[in-house]
Amino acid sequence: MWEYTEKTKELFLHPKNVGEIENPDAVGEVGSMVCGDALKLSLKIDKETGKIIDAKFQTFGCASAIASSSALTELIKDKTLDEALKVSNKDIAEFLGGLPKEKMHCSVMGYEALEAAVNNYRGVKPPEVEEGNIICECFGVTDTKIKRVITENNLKTAEDVTNYTKAGGGCGKCVPEIEKLLKEVWAEKVIREAVKPKKLTFIKKIALIQEIIEKEIMPSIKADGGDIELVDVEGSKVTVALRGTCTGCLMADVTAKNIEKKLKELVSEDLFVEVQ
């Protein structure tokens, strides 16, 4: 049984803003019945101020999908479109006092419906088919969407991706591809956010090493059931501890070499790694 908060239960049993606005200014539809959840959002917008005067929803889905939709309408009312677009799936989940992690995709659906409605209002044509290649055939999730959700929510494992997008939750065939995408996103992210700097203060160096370990290295180690922790940095010596299934693993040396390679590449050539 799911552990829903009182707020989620309340909004499921007595949802607010249910229905369809007559002559709406904007409509956003996401999901499909095949996927098991779908949301249709309709908005009334004040043309002068650009504010959302009314928002109504119709949802096919489970309790948390219905509650998330209701939360979304509450959160965006009386906001301008730009303000409303800042409402993220995290805000929706927070409004509900949290969602079980397996149900986070319900809050993502809320955000996507809003985005679709705003595009509809602004005359931005949604792409005929969602951009990117379909990765999860069971739920029709594309690599574009998976990458976006990984980035926005700092997801680290394929299981997280399933909880947020459903991808990989059907037959499970695409899980290796999701893991590949995770690696790609994190590699891009780290490089984008931290182009190898010329000179680093010691504190900055530690922070950067920590960041690269967390974002670049941890996801693949976690995928294999292990974990890694930065223990110390003295001069050029980086000490890490491997945990979980890494403990006593014959591959630990190989892992250490890989970590060293990454750190040399992204932080500084003189670094070397020791496993505690």
Partner 1 sequence: MRVTYLDNNATTRVSDEVIEEMTPYLGELYGNPSSMHTFGGQLHRKIEEARGRVAELINAEPDEIIFTSCGTESDNTAIMSALESYPQKRQIVTTRVEHPAVLNFCKTMEQKDYSTKLLPVDRLGKLNIDELRETITNNTAVVSVMYANNETGVIFPVPEIAEITKFRGSVFHTDAVQAAGKLPIDIKKMPIDMLSISGHKLHAPKGVGALYIRRGTRFSPYIIGGHQEHGRRAGTENVASIIGLGKACELAGKNMHEENTRIKALRDRLEQGLLKSCPDARLNGDSENRLPNTLNISFEYVEGEAILLRLNEDNICASSGSACTSGSLEPSHVLRAMGIPFTAIHGSVRFSLSRYTADDEISLVLKRMPEIIKELRTLSPYGRKAAGTL
Q: Does 225 bind partner 1 (CB under 8 A)?
A: no
The 8-class DSSP code of residue 216 comes to: I
Q: How far is the CB of 28 from partner 1 (least distance, A)?
A: 11
Please name the residue that has the structure tokens 């949301």.
39
Q: Yes or no: say if 140 and 35 are a contact pair by the CB < 8 Å rule.
A: yes
CB atoms near residue 117 (< 10 Å): 27
Does the annotation mark 35 as catalytic? yes
Which residues are CB-contacts of 13 (< 8 A; sequence separation ≥ 6)?
Answer: none
Does the annotation mark 106 as catalytic? yes
* Region of 17 on the Ramachandran plot (φ > 0 left; ψ -120 to 50 alpha; else beta): left
* Stretch of residues binding partner 1 (CB under 8 A), selected from 58-66, 203-211, 215-223, 258-266: 58-66
Which one among 16, 50, 62, 249 touches partner 1, defined by CB under 8 A? 62
Q: Does 115 bind partner 1 (CB under 8 A)?
A: no
Q: At what angle do helices 143-153 and 175-193 cross, to 10 degrees?
A: 50
Q: Does 140 bind partner 1 (CB under 8 A)?
A: no
Q: By rule CB under 8 A, what string of x and - marks binding of each residue 18-57 to partner 1?
A: x----------x---xxxxxxxx-----------------
Identity of the amino acid at 215: K
Catalytic residues: 35, 106
What residues line the site for partner 1 (CB under 8 A)? Answer: 2, 9, 12-13, 15, 18, 29, 33-40, 58-66, 102-103, 162-163, 166, 169-170
